[in-house]
């Protein structure tokens, strides 16, 4: 047998350990949530791999997590019969190699202990929370399908290094033992442990057992898949807790949508609309979306499942299908009629729910819009089939609003002047720039509302959204404005464009000076105060879009 060998923690891991111990101290009980969730993940992964290879289940097919306390030795052990780890896995996952979440967690820490305690689950650094309460942690593990002699023992005091040695292990899976630090004896109390498991891990869908001194096990969580229970039996509090366990978001969700569909195909979906943005909403590999289960077996992470389009990536939750094959692969998901139908129905449920929220509870909808409006604006581009429905949910700043981003296209249409033919908008780099644009002058004068669009995504939106409710959208900065077609009451101060000789001469001089940098110089009734403005052709990109394309290297 080889002797124990020592490895240094990678520098960022050391920094993380240090910070975590000090900054999460007042929420230290979350170590149990993290270790239990790792054990449950390990069980899920085993079930999934066992679909291909039944042998992995050995003689112990029922997944379970157990928590045992040794009062005299002052240790707690969390063990599972999940997938386990071999030597390489241990080194990769618990030590030297930089896991992408480590750096990002360090950057994202807010200093607010409660907030940070939630964050740690999002960043894949939960294991290290054991060191908040322990002065030594050992991990004894053996990967499913490998021989008992392939067992590995990892040991660390969390100070800067860990040791590894071979140690045979009969049982498949992992046992994590925490030797409690001075002053942490409260965690030897079973009542305390039971309370923590119920608070954080009640809806983990496998039994979490607490052993007593005689080794008798008591299941302390609900251990059933919440989404399979009848809606009438699930309290709001249970939904909220489930959401927290799923998302690590400390804010309760704005709304949830729980459906059981039977018929041609049967599935259950449970979708949540969060109240605040996750840190990675705009990162390409963000972990948002829906999890896929098949007959209660966890199949695929949110970001791989393609159960919702990108513009609804803020929705969290799951779909549990009765009809998909258990060995469903990513490729299969891409062209699968069942999945397409689930996806279509889920999109409709989310959009309908948002419509209802916007109508019945505008304040709550305003919170939603603040957090996720920018993402929803990708909708008409990505999902032309639902463009009109999504467009109805969009909210904008406007010359006629109260200054907030809360004017919908339907509001706009209901306020249009008689004879007005289009929904007018202006895009620009910033709200201030747009508000002060000379293009608005004639609209102000005639009291015609103009939507003010200052987010980068707005350019793409208006490039794809040509009309709403059969009314065209038109930029006030493009093409010829036929002043008489604008609608709205002339307040009597509009003067017809002068075409006297002196103006003709001025136009000629300006045209000569600008040369082929412009295609034309014209007198216009667009302006009331400013002497001149730049206008682009009806079918050209707007100036702001041109600026963006240039900045992006086009
Ligand atoms: P995360 O769970 O978000 O990946 P953690 O820090 O909690 O981050 O765990 C790191 C990794 O260690 C896990 O991804 C997993 O590969 C491995 N691991 C931790 N606990 C277990 C366990 N009980 N069984 C198998 N693997 C585990
Ligand atoms: Mg974890």
The two tokens of residue 114 are 């409660």
Mutational test site, ligand 1, from 17, 47, 77, 127, max ligand atoms within 8 Å of CB: 127
Residues in the chain where the model's pLDDT stays below 50: 1
209-233: per-residue pLDDT in tens? 999 888 899 999 988 889 999 999 9
Listing DSSP states for 225-258 in one string gives -GGGS-GGG--HHHHHHHHHHHH--SSPPSEEEE
Burial 392-419 (b: 16+ CB within 10 A, else e): bbbbbbbbebeeebbbbbeebeeebeee
Listing DSSP states for 431-476 in one string gives HHHHHT-GGGHHHHHTT---EEE-SHHHHHHHHH--EETTEEEEET
Positive or negative: CA dihedral 168, 171, 174, 179: negative
Tell me the C-alpha distance between 379 and 373, whole Å: 10
The two tokens of residue 88 are 């390489």
Confidence (pLDDT) at 458? 94
- Which residue has the CA at smallest separation from atom 23 of ligand 1? 39
Tell me the C-alpha distance between 165 and 152, whole Å: 6
Neighbours of 34 (CB within 10 A): 21
- Which residue has the CA at smallest separation from atom 21 of ligand 1? 38
This model's pTM is above 0.80: no
Residue 8 CA to ligand 2 centre (angstroms): 21
Mutational test site, ligand 1, from 41, 176, 246, max ligand atoms within 8 Å of CB: 41
Tell me the C-alpha distance between 155 and 3, whole Å: 13
Residue 93 CA to ligand 1 centre (angstroms): 7
Q: Which atom of ligand 1 is nearest to the CA of 121?
A: 3
Confidence (pLDDT) at 357? 98
The three-class DSSP label of residue 73 is coil
Cβ–ligand 1 distance for 272 under 6 Å, the answer no
Cβ–ligand 1 distance for 371 under 6 Å, the answer no
> ipTM of this complex > 0.95?
yes
- Do the Cβ atoms of 510 and 521 come closer than 8 Å? yes
The three-class DSSP label of residue 297 is strand
Tell me the C-alpha distance between 414 and 417, whole Å: 9
Nearest ligand, measured from the Cα of 93: 1
Helices 190-201 and 30-50: angle between axes, nearest 10 degrees: 60
Tell me the C-alpha distance between 21 and 29, whole Å: 12
Q: Which atom of ligand 1 is nearest to the CA of 89?
A: 16
Cβ–ligand 1 distance for 38 under 6 Å, the answer yes
Listing DSSP states for 118-153 in one string gives HHHHHTT-GGGGGGGTEEEEEEEEE-TTS-GGG-EE
Confidence (pLDDT) at 491? 57
- Which residue has the CA at smallest separation from atom 11 of ligand 1? 93
| DSSP 8-state code for residue 383 | -
85 is in an annotated binding site: yes
Tell me the C-alpha distance between 210 and 424, whole Å: 65
Three-class DSSP labels, 481-518: CCHHHCCCCCCCCCCCCCCCHHHHHHHHHHHHHHHHHC
Beta-sheet pairing, 289-294 with 297-300:
antiparallel
For residue 160, give every residue at least 6 positions away whose Cβ sits within 8 Å of its Cβ, in sequence order, or none.
Answer: 8, 9, 14
- Do the Cβ atoms of 48 and 61 come closer than 8 Å? no
Tell me the C-alpha distance between 451 and 409, whole Å: 9
- Which residue has the CA at smallest separation from atom 16 of ligand 1? 93
Confidence (pLDDT) at 166? 97
Which residues pair with residue 475 across a beta bridge? 425
| DSSP 8-state code for residue 174 | E
Of the candidates 424, 453, 351, 344, the one whose C-alpha atom is nearest the C-alpha of residue 392 is 351
Confidence (pLDDT) at 484? 60
Alpha-carbon separation of residue 207 from 125, 163, 514, 536, 543 (angstroms): 24, 31, 77, 66, 60
Listing DSSP states for 53-70 in one string gives -GGGGTT--S--EEEEEE
Burial of 41 from C-beta contacts in 10 A (0-12 / 13-18 / 19+): middle
Positive or negative: CA dihedral 111, 117, 123, 124: positive
CA angle at residue 338 from 335 to 343, to 5 degrees?
Answer: 85
Residue 184 CA to ligand 2 centre (angstroms): 22
Helices 543-551 and 456-464: angle between axes, nearest 10 degrees: 120
């Amino acid at each position: 047998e080889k002797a124990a060998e020592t490895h240094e923690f990678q520098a960022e891991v050391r920094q993380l350990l240090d910070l975590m111990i000090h900054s999460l101290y007042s929420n230290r009980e979350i170590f149990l949530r993290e270790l239990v969730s790792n054990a449950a993940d390990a069980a899920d992964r085993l079930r999934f791999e066992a679909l291909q290879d039944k042998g992995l289940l050995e003689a112990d097919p029922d997944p379970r997590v157990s928590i045992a306390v040794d009062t005299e030795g002052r240790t707690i052990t969390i063990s599972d019969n999940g997938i386990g780890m071999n030597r390489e896995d241990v080194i990769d996952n618990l030590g030297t190699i930089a896991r992408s979440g480590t750096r990002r967690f360090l950057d994202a820490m807010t200093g607010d202990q409660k907030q940070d305690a939630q964050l740690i689950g999002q960043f894949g650094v939960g294991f290290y929370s054991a060191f908040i309460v322990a002065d030594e942690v050992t991990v004894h593990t053996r990967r499913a399908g490998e021989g008992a002699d392939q067992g590995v023992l990892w040991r660390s005091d969390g100070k800067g290094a860990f040791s590894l040695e071979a140690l045979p292990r009969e049982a498949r899976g992992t046992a994590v033992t925490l030797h409690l630090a001075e002053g942490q004896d409260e965690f030897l109390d079973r009542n305390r442990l039971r309370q923590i498991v119920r608070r954080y891990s009640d809806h983990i869908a496998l039994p979490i057992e607490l052993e007593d001194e005689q080794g008798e096990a008591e299941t302390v969580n609900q251990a059933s898949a919440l989404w399979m229970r009848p809606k009438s039996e699930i309290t709001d509090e249970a939904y909220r807790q489930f959401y927290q366990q799923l998302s690590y978001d400390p804010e309760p969700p704005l709304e949830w949508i729980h459906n059981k569909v039977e018929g041609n195909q049967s599935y259950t979906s449970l979708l949540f609309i969060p109240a605040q943005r996750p840190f990675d909403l705009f990162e390409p590999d963000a972990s948002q979306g829906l999890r896929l289960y098949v007959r209660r077996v966890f199949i695929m992470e949110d970001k791989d499942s393609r159960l919702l389009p990108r513009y609804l990536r803020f929705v969290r939750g799951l779909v549990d299908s009765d009809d998909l094959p258990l060995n469903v692969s990513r490729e299969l998901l891409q062209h699968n009629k069942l999945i397409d139908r689930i996806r279509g129905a889920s999109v409709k449920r989310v959009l309908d729910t948002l419509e209802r929220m916007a109508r019945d509870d505008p304040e709550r909808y305003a919170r939603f819009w603040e957090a996720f409006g920018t993402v929803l604006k990708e909708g008409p581009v990505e999902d032309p089939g639902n463009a009109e429905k999504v467009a109805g949910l969009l909210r904008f700043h406007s010359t006629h609003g109260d200054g907030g981003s809360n004017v919908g296209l339907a509001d706009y249409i209901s306020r249009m002047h008689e004879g007005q033919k289009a929904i007018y908008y202006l895009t620009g780099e910033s709200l201030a720039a747009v508000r002060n644009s000379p293009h608005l002058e004639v609209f102000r004068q005639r009291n015609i509302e103009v939507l003010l669009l200052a987010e980068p995504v707005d350019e793409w939106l208006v490039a794809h959204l040509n009309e709403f409710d059969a009314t065209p959208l038109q930029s006030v900065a493009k093409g010829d404005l036929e002043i008489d077609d604008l609608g709205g009451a002339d307040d009597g101060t509009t003067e017809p464009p002068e075409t006297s000789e002196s103006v003709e001469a001025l136009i000629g001089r300006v045209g000569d000076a600008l040369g082929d940098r412009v295609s034309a110089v014209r007198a216009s009734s667009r302006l009331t105060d400013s002497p001149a403005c730049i206008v682009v052709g009806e079918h050209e990109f707007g100036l702001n879009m041109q600026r963006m394309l240039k900045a992006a290297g086009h």
